Amino acid sequence: MTTKTIPVVELEGKDLPAYCPNPAMPLWSSHPRVFLDFGHDGIAKCPYCGTEYALKPGTVVGHH
């Protein structure tokens, strides 16, 4: 059995608010747009496709 490895997408402050599918994903693999909520560890995971997103070290997230 082979497992599919999904790469981690690194984001910077300019990429926020972050959503999936991201602009680099092909149209055929689209699902409804979901805005991502990053935890204190700087990681978010798409509930549809499982793609993981991580904030680059030193990224400052603004608060509303």
What pLDDT is attached to residue 23? Answer: 83
Task: Name the average pLDDT for the chain.
Answer: 86
What pLDDT is attached to residue 7? Answer: 73
- 36 contact partners, CB below 8 Å, separation of at least 6: 17, 18, 19, 20, 44, 46, 53
Q: Considering the chain, what percentage of its residues have pLDDT values greater than 70?
A: 84
41 backbone dihedrals φ, ψ, rounded to 5°: -85, -5
pTM: predicted TM-score of the whole model, two decimal places: 0.78
